[in-house]
Amino acid sequence: MTTTKRSWAEPYKIKMVEPLRVTTREERERALREAGWNTFLLRSEDVYIDLLTDSGTNAMSDRQWAGLMLGDEAYAGSANFYRLEAAVRKFYGYKYLVPTHQGRGAENILSQCLIKPGDYVPGNMYFTTTRAHQELAGATFVDVIIDEAHDPTSEHPFKGNVDLEKLDALVKRVGAQKVPYVSVAATVNMAGGQPISMKNLREVSEYCRAKGIKVILDATRAVENAWFVKRREKGYEHKSVAEILRETCSYTDGATMSGKKDLLVNIGGFLALNDEKTFEEARNLVVVYEGLHTYGGLAGRDMEAMARGIEEAVEEAHIRARIGQVEYVGQRLLEAGVPIVVPIGGHAVFLDATRFLPHLPQVAFPAQTLAGELYLESGIRAMERGIVSAGRNRETGDHNYPKLELVRLTFPRRVYTQAHCDVTVESVVELYERRRSIKGLRMVYEPKYLRFFQARFDRLEG
Ligand SMILES: *Cc1c(COP(=O)(O)O)cnc(C)c1O
């Protein structure tokens, strides 16, 4: 037998360990009951493999940890700010930088600078905090993503693309003066970590420049997007991820960034801009909300770790392994016949609870149930993205009934190994094999705002 295929391995070795505790089924039964079947209410020490989110859960490198010791904690003009500014200029290409405590801090300032009450902000699907700040500043968000993004079985390679006809229809309806900018995310988190193509972004940019509309990038996951462009878009296969990232940013006028994702830190973010006038306004506003414009709510050491994270994020071995790990889990689940959203996204695998538990009606909370059962099975923590997350209709008081009823398995960067991935796959497959015995839930406590964080449930009997 001649086989030349070698196994894949993580492109790092482990220097410091954090012990994990394997709990018993009885312990998990108790913990989940105490948490009201809500994975957000579990204590982290009762969790074995934590796939709740990839936000701020990254493992930093030895270079980043070493950088913490070089924190210049001066109130004004910290050396780490200038290092961060240089890294953003070099890798993202924007002229001006305003650091913020995390992504939403940048979204708040940007929205206040660019939006007037009564404006419209089109975007390739909403993100929770981004839309909240646009609305708080007086704008109406309009979804202009292509229809395929809403279909969990569509294999479109760039489900994050903007539908230019939808965009043009909005601009014709309300007038370009009422559209301060187009909000473009790369990749699109709420669509399942799906990328936007360079061709589409270029077309959006050309369209907007002709109309005097700005393009603002949500760059939180733009490195992951660059990897998909390299893998899927003709003409980019021989470009480096760093080159693709620079080109992405070149079609936009500025970016908001949550460093807690791509940039391999536990806290941090920034707003980056090319236009001097908007920058001056943003630099002034940041003083009100975040802190002086050379620290923006961050310690000097945090800015240093983020500057180093920017350099590491675009290393091909890293990004290949990061997305490769998600792909590996998704691919193995597909092979086992488990229903998941395709194509597999950049940061998470989404179990399709509607097809996983077809005997449960949506009012029995299939995704919430599945997330709870997965925890009971294996101690793995995931997140519901379905009817609970969608909340209630403000007019009728009834639930919103989203098309997608999903459980998100989100992979923190550089935290778990191939063996943890195997355990995850095996746990999901075992659950799938006994899926018919799974009973639904009823909601016994419902908070008024963002109910998915704090709602409580009980198992339905019978
Ligand atoms: C996490 C995230 C944000 C918000 O950033 P925070 O750091 O959590 O405030 C914005 N956009 C996208 C795409 C995200 O994933």
In a domain, 127, yes or no: yes
- Which atom of ligand 1 is closest in space to residue 105's alpha carbon? 9
Tell me, using a 6 A CB cutoff, whether residue 260 lines ligand 1.
yes
Tell me, using a 6 A CB cutoff, whether residue 356 lines ligand 1.
no
- The answer on 326 and 306 residing in a single domain is no
- The answer on 112 and 227 residing in a single domain is yes
Q: Is 365 left (phi over 0), alpha (psi -120 to 50) or beta?
A: left
How far is residue 150 CA from its own chain's centroid? 17
- The answer on 322 and 263 residing in a single domain is no
Question: Could you tell me the CATH number of the domain that includes residue 397?
Answer: 3.90.1150.10
Token pair of 43 as six digits: 């204590």
CA of 257 to the centre of ligand 1 (A): 7
Tell me, using a 6 A CB cutoff, whether residue 55 lines ligand 1.
yes
Query: What is the C-alpha separation between 341 and 287, in angstroms, rounded?
Result: 42
Tell me, using a 6 A CB cutoff, whether residue 224 lines ligand 1.
no
- Which atom of ligand 1 is closest in space to residue 185's alpha carbon? 13
Query: What is the C-alpha separation between 188 and 195, in angstroms, rounded?
Result: 6
Kindly list the catalytic residues. Answer: 75, 127-128, 218, 261, 385, 452
Query: What is the C-alpha separation between 143 and 152, in angstroms, rounded?
Result: 17
Tell me, using a 6 A CB cutoff, whether residue 192 lines ligand 1.
no
User: Of 270, 285, 313, which residue is a domain's last?
Assistant: 313
CA of 220 to the centre of ligand 1 (A): 6
Q: What pLDDT does residue 2 have?
A: 58
Q: What pLDDT does residue 404 have?
A: 85
- The answer on 42 and 75 residing in a single domain is no
Q: Cβ(218)–Cβ(127) under 8 Å?
A: yes
Atom 10 of ligand 1 has which residue's CA nearest to it?
A: 103
Q: Cβ(269)–Cβ(286) under 8 Å?
A: no
Q: What pLDDT does residue 84 have?
A: 98
Tell me, using a 6 A CB cutoff, whether residue 218 lines ligand 1.
yes
Query: What is the C-alpha separation between 235 and 187, in angstroms, rounded?
Result: 19
Q: What share of residues in the chain are helix, strand, coil (percent, to 5)?
A: 45, 15, 40
Q: What pLDDT does residue 3 have?
A: 63
Domain count, the chain: 2
How far is residue 435 CA from its own chain's centroid? 29
Q: What pLDDT does residue 208 have?
A: 98
CA of 231 to the centre of ligand 1 (A): 24
Query: What is the C-alpha separation between 208 and 213, in angstroms, rounded?
Result: 5
In a domain, 437, yes or no: yes
CA of 330 to the centre of ligand 1 (A): 23
- The torsion angles phi and psi of 145, rounded to 5 degrees, stand at -75, 160
Q: Average pLDDT for consecutive 10-residue bins of the chain (462 residues)?
A: 74 96 97 98 98 98 98 98 98 98 97 98 91 93 94 93 98 98 94 94 98 98 98 98 98 98 98 98 97 98 98 97 97 97 95 96 97 97 93 87 92 97 98 97 92 95 76
- The answer on 235 and 102 residing in a single domain is yes
* The Cα angle at residue 407 between residues 442 and 26, in degrees rounded to 5: 65
Encode burial over 265-282: b for 16+ CB neighbours within 10 A, e otherwise: bbbbbbbbbbbeebbebb
Tell me, using a 6 A CB cutoff, whether residue 347 lines ligand 1.
no
User: Of 284, 313, 342, which residue is a domain's last?
Assistant: 313
Domain range for 363 = 25-47+316-459
Query: What is the C-alpha separation between 299 and 306, in angstroms, rounded?
Result: 11
Residue to substitute in 55, 101, 221 for testing ligand 1 pocket (most ligand atoms within 8 angstroms of CB): 55
- The answer on 215 and 114 residing in a single domain is yes
- Which atom of ligand 1 is closest in space to residue 188's alpha carbon? 13
Q: Which helix (H) or strand (E) holds 107?
A: helix 103-114
In a domain, 132, yes or no: yes
Tell me, using a 6 A CB cutoff, whether residue 248 lines ligand 1.
no
Q: What pLDDT does residue 6 have?
A: 80
- The answer on 267 and 164 residing in a single domain is yes
In a domain, 133, yes or no: yes
In a domain, 6, yes or no: no
CA of 216 to the centre of ligand 1 (A): 14
- The answer on 88 and 30 residing in a single domain is no
DSSP state of 6: P
In a domain, 237, yes or no: yes
- The answer on 106 and 234 residing in a single domain is yes
In a domain, 163, yes or no: yes
- The answer on 380 and 285 residing in a single domain is no
Question: Could you tell me the CATH number of the domain that includes residue 253?
Answer: 3.40.640.10
- The answer on 277 and 213 residing in a single domain is yes
- Which atom of ligand 1 is closest in space to residue 130's alpha carbon? 10
User: Of 287, 313, 339, which residue is a domain's last?
Assistant: 313
- The answer on 338 and 320 residing in a single domain is yes
In a domain, 94, yes or no: yes
Q: Cβ(196)–Cβ(187) under 8 Å?
A: yes
CA of 80 to the centre of ligand 1 (A): 23
